[in-house]
Amino acid sequence: MESVSEKTFFFGDFELSGARRQLLKDGEIVALNARTFDLLLVLVENRGRVLSKDELLEKVWEGQFVEENNLTVQIAGLRRIFGEKKGAYRFIATIPGKGYKFVAEIKRPDEEIVIEKHHFSRILIDEGPDARFDERAAGFFGELATNGSGLEKEARPVAKNSRSVGWKYFLMIFIFGGLLAVVIDGYFWRRVVQSNFDKEDSFANAGLRQLTTNGKVAIAALAPDGKTFAYVVNDSGKRSLWLGFVDGGNHLPLRPASEDGRYYNLAFGPDGSRLYYSYKDDKSPKPALYRMPVSGGVQEKILDDVDNFSLSPDGRQIAFARREGDRDLIFTAGLDGSGRHEIISFPKNEGVVFNTFSWSPDGRRLAFSKLKDAKSLGNDLAIVEIATGNYRLIENEIWRDTAKTVWMKDGSSVIVHAVEHDSWTSVPQFHLFQVAIPSGDTREIVSDLNDYEGALDLSRNSEALLTIVHRQLNNIWIAPAGNPGAAKQITFGSFGKYDGLWGLDFTPGGKIVYTNSDTQSQFISEMNADGSGSRPLTAPGLIDSVLNVSNDGRCIVFQSIRNGGDFNIWRIDADGGNPKQLTFGGKDFMAFVSADNRWVYYKSWENDVGELRRVPIEGGAPEILNDRETSWVSFSPDGQYFAALYKTDKNRLAVFDAASNQLIRQFDLPKDGTLTLGSRWSPDSRGVVFRDSIEGYWRQPIDGGEPRKLEGLPKEKLYNFAWSKDGRQFAFVRGQEIRDIVLIANKK
């Protein structure tokens, strides 16, 4: 900002003091970060005048390149403070296509005192790894004082109309010095980042060392000294907490197995003597933050209502996110809950991935994974300054989705789990990438075909990186409908094929249509019921998934990324010919043909709701059937009903009347019940069958009563399934998921 007024403004219940840089409501201080205060002051000073977005960006973020979304986020924050609801703007009005205007009546401004104010940091691309460097560069100029943040420099107050030669001389030195500081700082920053990023020994000679062999690790964390690690084992839904030793030895149980317990995050304290974890069970249905000695002992609850979190480098704060209404908010807070500070918020359809936060080593920034804009799939790496709420996205052409993040201890780069842009396997393959900050230069750490996910942690010296390697094998089995125990395996694909995982159905003639995968794509194949005669129906290299065969056997519908890279609903003939695009919204999923073969039902995110829609099977205009998130439709064999996953306050199984599309019944799901991968009706049309995330399948009678497990199936996790059109055969997908901890370190 070029100048700051020292007026005091009164509006509504608020008092805004430019001199004290405070906003008060009914005499109580309202917490604002520096940018939010500057924005409010500019709006208030220009009451009644429309300020364009460009003008506000220039005034508040003078000389900086920032995303326009920063302004939108700050405006939304002010509206929450003022308690404004959508469409009822008492203080800040949005003028469509033009900008914003402060509209509240200002009651009593006092006399104006103006000081010249200059901010070095507003013209810097980024603060370097050592913020004190800026102070030293500017410290040659004796007239400079440093404010509380240590980043912004102010000239001493000077009379507004002063024409003294000394003032001009000082101003020339000031400008020259500022430019010199920018050049020196930019050079210093680039040199530090580039030198650290290009080190030959930064995982350049890395080797993998497997630390567990049970194949059941869910999450893990590495101690700062790199000698011990903690991890959670998920053994068929029974979760336990363990301590392991990098150099070998017996692992120690820290907490016993529990069927109703769930762990969200693990973190060691800075000195490695205590372990922090978030956890919930049936006794405490809301997750909370706990800590305990790593040597074992009594656990201590230290903060309620915390699930995914990141511990600050000094061990005194956590970062976490919350969804409130239609927005995702990022906070920091002390371990006792004090000092809670909202950093930034986003619309939920462009929000954050909650378990991806990591603190920079200096405690000034957070890295996290953020959903792309509402029109795109996947997510990006984001870096936010905790003090100001300013953030930047780091996008590149190498990866599409990002998950866990961790900073290198010199602050020069962030390591992320990320999926490469051209990888569309049935199970996302997360690889490890090192991303330079702020340039975004990216390189892969380990070049192999492993899927790394679930944990990401570095030792204090950044010489050892802990993660989880995940391998998954899926194959199709078939059995007589009345005797699942007589099932026989009919596909024998290797790791990475995922036969039937995202699509499995029968033709009226008894053939099986199913999805499978290679290292880069998903496609649809067909085979006989004994596994013979397999052939592809769609070509590899595309993303064809979540299929359904019409009851008349004439066509197959599925979701696909073709023609521009967005998901739409497509149809092919039973022999794979005549592909036809049925929807064009770019966010259409989970197609299923109605029992009368006339309609294709699907879930659409085009309106950011996930509502149920249908489109004529021959093509035409889609119809919106409801205004709730509705997915994984399946029709009863008799054609009277269809079932779906229906979201209200929670996910429920819903049954609809097929003639009217009206909801007629809802059922709560069992504890581990899920409709992900779909539901099917039993051949008698009297029950809906869906998966259990631990083992087997549930059957819910539609006339009421408790759901029951299907009998005769293996006691293990099962995946997609389908009955033949005549109800005589039952096909299902079995598989193995192996998850073990590995340590990546340079070979000595």
pLDDT at 454: 83
Which structural domain, as residue segments, surrounds residue 186? 3-197
pLDDT at 398: 78
Q: How many domains does the chain have?
A: 1
The torsion angle over the Cα atoms of residues 272, 274, 280 and 281, rounded to 10 degrees, is 120
> Residue-wise over 398-418: b if at least 16 C-beta within 10 A, else e?
bbbbbbbbbbbbbbbbbbbbb
Amino acid at 456: L
Alpha carbons 100 and 52: distance in angstroms, whole number: 7
Q: Is the CB of residue 129 less than 8 Å from the CB of residue 192?
A: yes
pLDDT at 7: 79
Q: Considering the domain boundaries, does residue 383 fall inside one?
A: no
Question: What pTM was computed for the model?
Answer: 0.70
Alpha carbons 301 and 316: distance in angstroms, whole number: 15
Closest CA to 602 of 638, 563, 559, 651: 559
Phi, then psi, of 272 in degrees rounded to 5 = 80, 5
Alpha carbons 674 and 683: distance in angstroms, whole number: 20
Closest CA to 389 of 332, 339, 307: 332
Q: Is the CB of residue 61 less than 8 Å from the CB of residue 109?
A: no
pLDDT at 613: 97
- Tally of CB atoms within 10 A around 81: 16
Alpha carbons 246 and 244: distance in angstroms, whole number: 7
pLDDT at 190: 36
Kindly tell me the burial class for residue 697, based on how many C-beta atoms sit within 10 Å of its own C-beta (0-12, 13-18, 19 or more): buried
Alpha carbons 580 and 250: distance in angstroms, whole number: 59
Amino acid at 268: F
Alpha carbons 415 and 465: distance in angstroms, whole number: 10
Q: Is the CB of residue 336 less than 8 Å from the CB of residue 350?
A: no
Alpha carbons 222 and 493: distance in angstroms, whole number: 35
pLDDT at 87: 57
Alpha carbons 57 and 169: distance in angstroms, whole number: 30
Phi, then psi, of 376 in degrees rounded to 5 = -125, 160
Q: Considering the domain boundaries, does residue 70 fall inside one?
A: yes
Q: Considering the domain boundaries, does residue 38 fall inside one?
A: yes
pLDDT at 204: 61
Alpha carbons 274 and 291: distance in angstroms, whole number: 7
Alpha carbons 279 and 264: distance in angstroms, whole number: 6
Q: Considering the domain boundaries, does residue 255 fall inside one?
A: no
* SS3 of residue 169 by DSSP: helix
In sequence order, what DSSP letters do the residues of 333-354 get, joined into one string? Answer: EETTSTT-EEEEEEEGGG-B-T
Alpha carbons 691 and 703: distance in angstroms, whole number: 20
Q: Considering the domain boundaries, does residue 462 fall inside one?
A: no
* Ranges of residues in the chain whose predicted pLDDT is under 50: 1-4, 109-201
Alpha carbons 602 and 711: distance in angstroms, whole number: 31
Q: Considering the domain boundaries, does residue 69 fall inside one?
A: yes
Q: Considering the domain boundaries, does residue 449 fall inside one?
A: no
Closest CA to 544 of 519, 575, 517: 517
Q: Considering the domain boundaries, does residue 727 fall inside one?
A: no
Alpha carbons 450 and 361: distance in angstroms, whole number: 29
Token pair for residue 403? 């998950």
We report the CATH number of the domain holding residue 123 as 1.10.10.10
pLDDT at 557: 97
Residue in the block written with tokens 């794509």? 521
pLDDT at 60: 86
Alpha carbons 352 and 367: distance in angstroms, whole number: 11
Token pair for residue 661? 């599309």
pLDDT at 565: 67
- Return the axis-axis angle of helices 53-60 and 34-45, rounded to nearest 10°: 120
